Structure 1
Amino acid sequence: MLAAERAAAILRERILDGHLPPGSPLRDVALAAELGMSRNSLREGLRLLGAEGLAVHQKHKGAVVRTLSTVDIRDIYRVRRALELGAIEESATADPSMLRTLEEAVRTEERALTDGQRVVGTAGLRFHQALVALLGSEQIDRFFRTILAQLRLAFFAMPDEVDSHRPWIPQDREICELVLSGRREQAKAAARRYLDESELMLLDAVHAAERQAARSGTVSPTSPAPTRSREV
């Protein structure tokens, strides 16, 4: 893996794990030193993140993690419906090890909720990552990791991550059980309900955050960016 790709992969994973909230500075000098690479390689890695919709460049501030808009949310959910429903349809031919990974992912999600951990949001995304992995495509997996990293950024618009995710975990369990038992049409119906409801929840949260930003006169680091910002 090239240094720039490695930098992008590390930072993408930090975003997915919830360690880099929207607006977090991505300082090339400090990150290059931390990751043991040149500033040029690190900057190229930041450009890769910009192309993935995870970072933008702000004048006088440098690269920062993006804040997602409602337009982004709608686009993300278009992708999710296509891939997650397709994965359920193809689950009959999935490798048994992938089905075991799916079940373990929902167990991890349930444990995170029981422990009251903030990582519950990331655990939920890992379940859906395991679901899409049933398609058995490395290229789709790579693409979907970026989609999930974008989605993780949207979670920061919610006032309480644990409480906000509490209703979705039983639905993930239901989807998992239906997939494992071969009831694919019922699993797809459950997934559609999940996606419809979770999209509305996130849209409401992001709308509220956008209204708050407008009232306070702040500018969110989104893309397409305002005239004083540009993509990394």
Structure 2
Amino acid sequence: MTRSLSEVFMAQDAAIRLSTVSVVEALAVSLRDRVLDGQLAPGTTFAETEIASEYGVSRPTARSAVTALVHEGLLQREANKPAYVPQLTRADVEDLFLVRTPLETQVVKVLVERGTVPVTAAERAIADLDRLGPDAPHSAFVESDLRFHQSLVDAVGSPRLSRLYRGIKGEVHLCMVQTRHTLGRERIVAEHGAVLEALRAGDADEAACRMRAHLDGACDSLRRLFGGGED
């Protein structure tokens, strides 16, 4: 049985204040965090009137924030119906990695060619993941994992590339949250470290090989967890 957004908020007794810098952006961030933290189960609806009431914003503001999340793939919306949190499938996983894997293997090659390896940001993401204890929220593991990958993409210095990657990263995060999946902290730390080592050594082919192996492992694991989905 799914719950409406209003019911979820009432259960959590949420009292949220939004930034006055950009109310739409602040609202989108709040809603995005709730989806990616796994607080809102697949099927939870995002009725604009409920959001406007709960957050004390106008309905057009609520509509704009919901539309932003629909564009990110974190919500889906059918004609004349409220948006809702989708239940992702095996086909979604395969499609995401069809885009993600060639993109990220090319990213590491470009970084070596340009000599712009983001050592500090990448190391920080690895260290943050390594420090997480077994009781840390699952979403914290996912965030640290994906932050490593985002740091490499952003280091290329292409606004369009970064925007493209953020467009799929949310759905990857959602896949991992919905399945409670990670490759395991120690394995992720080791594989991220191996990619960074190859980047430091200036070995583009080895960095690409290690990145592909890492992403193929993640994709295969998610496909098995979504085994009951579409082929």
Q: Taking structure 1 as the reference length, what is the TM-score of the superposition?
A: 0.75
Alignment correspondent of 2:64: 44
What is the alpha-carbon distance in structure 2 between the residues aligned to residue 172 and residue 16 of structure 1? Answer: 22
Change (3 A) 1:125 1:182: same
Out of 156, 169, 174, the residue aligned to residue 135 of structure 1 is 156
Query: Which amino acid is 2:71 matched to?
Result: A
Q: 1:186 aligns with which of 196, 206, 229?
A: 206
Whole-Å separation in 2 of the counterparts to 1:179 and 1:190: 10
- Please give the root-mean-square deviation of Cα atoms over the aligned residues, in Å: 2.9
- Conserved in 2, the CA contact under 8 Å of 1:157 and 1:205? no
Alignment of 1:155-170 (within 5 A): 155-158=176-179, 160-161=180-181, 164=184, 166-170=186-190
Asked if 1 retains the 8 angstrom alpha-carbon contact of 2:73 and 2:170, the reply is: no
CA distance in 2, matches of 1:184, 1:103: 19
Q: d(CA) in 2 for partners of 1:25 and 1:74?
A: 26
The 2-side partners of 1:168 and 1:129 are apart by: 15
Look up the equivalent residue of 2:146 and give its one-letter code: L
TM-superposed deviation, 1:53: 1.9
State the number of aligned residues. 207
Aligned to 2:102: 82
**Counterparts in 2 of 1:83 and 1:17: CA distance versus 1, 3 Å:** farther
The Cα of 1:108 is off from its aligned counterpart by 1.0
Deviations along 1:157-191, one digit per CA (max 9) or x if unpaired, are: 43x54675553332112112222232221111111
Percent of residue pairs identical: 26
SS at match of 2:226: helix
Contact 1:55 1:63 survives alignment (8 Å): yes
2:180 counterpart of 1:149: no
* 1:198 and 2:218 correspond: yes
Q: Distance in 2 between matches of 1:28 and 1:184?
A: 48
Q: Give the Cα–Cα distance (whole angstroms) in 1 for the partners of residues 40 and 115 of structure 2.
A: 33
* Kept in 2: contact 1:106–1:124 (CA 8 A): yes
Q: Residues of 1 paired with 2:49 and 2:109: CA distance?
A: 46
Assess if the C-alpha contact under 8 Å between 2:129 and 2:185 holds in 1: no
Q: CA deviation at 1:24?
A: 3.4
Amino acid at match of 2:195: I
